[in-house]
Structure 1
C-alpha cells in the first residue's frame, strides 16, 4: 500500500491545483458532451432511417410482387391487395409508423404495378437536420398471357325461362371479368357459340360448309357439284319431304369428323330444316372478339329453341380457337397459332344435358333420341358418324385437349346429376375434376361462371 506524504503547505497547494484541474476537466467534458451528444444522436437517427429504409424497401418489393401476381384488374383492387401485403411484411423499428402506401396498376405499354410507401422514423436529435419520412418506391412488370376463350352455350328448348335468363347474366359477367379494357401487351378475347339442333354460323356458312346452288335434289352433301338449296328426302314414315338449306350447320363427317381441320379440306355438315317445329336456331355464333358491347349483344340474342346437337356446339367452340380456321375467321377474330408463347386457349361448355340430335345427309337422323323434334321431320337413315351426340362431343373434347392443341376445357352441367350420360360427358370432357361445375340452379350457375372467370384471370396473369 502506498504511504501518502504528510500534507505540508506545499502538498496542500498541490492538492488544490489537482482539484482545480478536475474542475477544468469537468468543464471541458461538459463542453465536449454538449457538442458531441447531438452529433452522436443525429448519427444514430441517420442509422435508424437507413435501417428502416431497407426494411421498407424489402416489404414494398414483396407486396408489389404479390399484387402483380394477383388476379386483380383495377388499380383499386391492386391497391387493396398491395396494402394488405405490405402490412403483413413490413418490420418497423420501435416508434416508427407507416405514413402512406400506394399501389397503381399501369396498363399502357408493359403492364406493371408501381408502388410507393413512406414511414415516419422517431428522431433523437430533431433539431439537427430535417427528418423527412423515409420513402421508397418499386415497380414490378406483370406476368401475362394472351387469352382466347370460347363460350359454348346451350340454347335449346329445355333452357327456356329462368335457366336461359341466368345463363345470359352469367355469360355477360364472365365477359366483363375476362375481357380486359387494355389489350396490350396481352390481349383477351371471347367467342360466343350458342347451340340448339345445330349452330347458326350466319355469314360464315358458305365458307364452312360450301356454297349451294338453286334447285332441288335428293343428293345433299355429296361430292361433285354443289348441293342444292332444297333437299328432297324420304322421312321415317316413308313420305317425301323437302327442306330448305339454312345457315345452321351439322356435324362434320369422314376422316376429319373429330379434328379442327380447315373447312377448305373438310367442309362441315349441311343443315336442311323444317320452317317450323325444329328450325335453325336464330342466335348466331360470334368469333373471337375483345369488343364487349358486341359480345354482350350476342349473348342478349340467345333465345331458347329446338332440339340439341351439343356436339356441334363443341366443335364450333374449338373451330373459333383453331389456327386452321384462319381462312374463315380473319383479322381480330383470327386465333393464334398453337404453341404461341404466352397464349392460353380455353373452352367453357355449358349444358343442361339433353344431347339428342345427330344428322344424316344434313337432316336430323332417324336414330336421334327423344326430344329431337317430330319423327316425321327425320330422314330415314341413321346418323352418318355412327355415334350418339354425347360420344361425338367426347371425341371432340379428347382431341381438343391433346397436344399440340392443349385447349383448357371447363364444363358447367346445369342440374345434370339425374342424367348419367350428361354427367359422364361433363366429367370426362373437362380438363380435370377441378374444371367441372355442377350447379343445381341458375344462382349456382352464376357462381360457377364467376369462379371460371377468376380462374381464367389467374391463367391470364401468370406465366
Structure 2
C-alpha cells in the first residue's frame, strides 16, 4: 500500500508539473488581452478620424463665416447686428453635413471699432469607442480665442496697398430717370467701401469721369492744358453731298473730345501735336462776337480728379444729371488720363496719380455705360458719322484705348446696364475692354447694378483672415 501511495503521489506531482508547464492557457489569455487592445486601438483610430474630419469642417466653417460677416460689414454700412447674423447663418449652413456634435456654442462678434470680426465658443464630438477608456467626447475647437482666426477689413489704412480708382459714369440722355438714380446709388456705395477713413499709411482715392457727347473739365486751367489755348472761336466746315455742298458754322465750347494723330490711343502728356480736340458745336449761346458753343454734357458733370474726400465725391455723384449721346471712347480715355502720371499737371498736387509701377499700388478703371457708343468726331472737333470720323467709330476707339490702358498695368472692370444680348456691339465692347471675363458685368436692373459695383469694391478692398 505504501508503494502504491508513493506511486500515486508521484503521479499527482507529475500532473501538477505538466499543468504548470502547459503554455496553452497563457496563449489564450494573452491573445484575448491583445485582441481587446487591438479592438480599442481600432476604435480609437475611428474616433480620432471622426474628430479630425469634424474639426476640419468646423474650423473651415468658422473661417468662412468670419469672411461672410466681414463682407457684410463692408457692404451694409457697418451694420454690426447684420454682420453677426450673416456670419451665424453662414456657419450654420456650412456645418449641415458635419458629423453630429454636442455643446456647439460658437458665436461671432464685431471688434476693433467695426473693422474686424472674431469668433469664440466651443464644440465637441462624442466618442463611442474611447468612452470605454472614460473619454466621453473630444473638443473640436477650443474656447480660447487664440484658436480662432480673425477677419480683418482692409480699411483704416491697413490694406497693405494704395488704390487709385477711376469711375467712368454714363450720364447720357438714355440714363435719365430711375437709371441715373440706380447709378448714383451704386457709385456712392462703392465710394463708401473703397475710400478709407484713415489714409495715414495707405491711401485710396477715386476719380469721377462723367461723359456723354463730350467731357467737361473742372476748370479752365485744366481745359487749356488739355486742348491748348490758340483756338478760334468759330470754324466753318463745308459738307459735300454729291453735286452740291453747304457750309456750317461751329462754335467753340468749354468741353473737349477725342485726340487725333499718332498719340490718339496713348496717354502721352498733352502738348503741341498731342492735345485733345476742343468740341465745336452748332448749339450756341450769346450773339455776335460773344457767341459760343454749348457743351452737351451738363454743367454738373465735370471730371473729378483722384480724391480721398468721400463726402465731396458722393456729393458730385449725387449732383449728376443726364443729357446727350454716347461717346464712350471719351469716357474711356479720361478714365485713363485721370490715372496717368503723364496727365498729372492738369490736377492740384493732392489729386495727382502716382507713377506706374509704384510700390504697393493698384490702378483700376471702372467703365460703366448703358448703350451703344454712337458719337465720334472729325479732326475739327465736330460730331460726324463713324465713316467720316478721324479715328473711326466710338466703339473701335474705345477698344483700342482699353487695350493700351491694360498694357500700362491698369486693371479694367466694365459694367453694362441693360445692354441687351451678348451679340450687341455695346456688350462686345465692354466684354473686350475688361481685363478678364470675370471683370465684366451686365446688370439688368438697378439692384444688379448696385451688386456689380459692390462686387468690384469687395474685390478691391482686401478682406483677410489673421490669427
Q: TM-score range by the shorter chain?
A: 0.5 to 0.7
Change (3 A) 1:429 1:305: same
- Given candidates 405, 410, 418, the residue that maps to 2:409 is 405
Change (3 A) 1:78 1:323: farther
Q: What is the RMSD computed on CA atoms of the aligned residues?
A: 4.0
Aligned to 2:440: 436
State the alpha-carbon separation in 1 of the partners of residues 185 and 60 from structure 2. 39
Aligned to 1:315: 333
Give the Å deviation of 1:197.
Answer: 0.9
Aligned to 1:238: 246
Is 1:67 the equivalent of 2:66? yes
- Given candidates 204, 228, 239, the residue that maps to 1:188 is 204
Gaps of 5+ in 1: 1-51, 121-132, 213-225, 370-381
Change (3 A) 1:136 1:195: closer
Is 1:158 the equivalent of 2:174? yes
* TM-score normalised by L of structure 2: 0.65
Counterpart contact for 1:64–1:113, Cα < 8 Å = no
* TM-score normalised by L of structure 1: 0.66
Give the Å deviation of 1:171.
Answer: 2.3
Mapping 1:116-265, distance limit 5 Å: 117=121, 135-137=144-146, 140=150, 144=159, 145-183=161-199, 185-203=201-219, 204-210=222-228, 212=229, 226-228=230-232, 230-236=233-239, 238-246=246-254, 248-264=255-271
Aligned to 1:356: 374
State the alpha-carbon separation in 2 of the partners of residues 300 and 188 from structure 1. 20
Aligned to 1:328: 346
State the alpha-carbon separation in 1 of the partners of residues 328 and 449 from structure 2. 20
SS at match of 1:261: coil
Counterpart contact for 1:281–1:305, Cα < 8 Å = yes
Gaps of 5+ in 2: 1-50, 125-141, 240-244, 286-292
Give the Å deviation of 1:66.
Answer: 6.7
State the alpha-carbon separation in 1 of the partners of residues 430 and 295 from structure 2. 27
State the alpha-carbon separation in 2 of the partners of residues 66 and 329 from structure 1. 43
Moved over 6 A (4+): 58-62, 84-89, 91-95
- Given candidates 270, 276, 280, the residue that maps to 1:268 is 276
Q: How many residue pairs align between the two structures?
A: 364
Change (3 A) 1:451 1:383: closer
Give the Å deviation of 1:325.
Answer: 2.3
Is 1:446 the equivalent of 2:454? no
Change (3 A) 1:101 1:446: closer
Give the Å deviation of 1:362.
Answer: 4.3
State the alpha-carbon separation in 2 of the partners of residues 186 and 65 from structure 1. 27
Give the Å deviation of 1:107.
Answer: 6.9
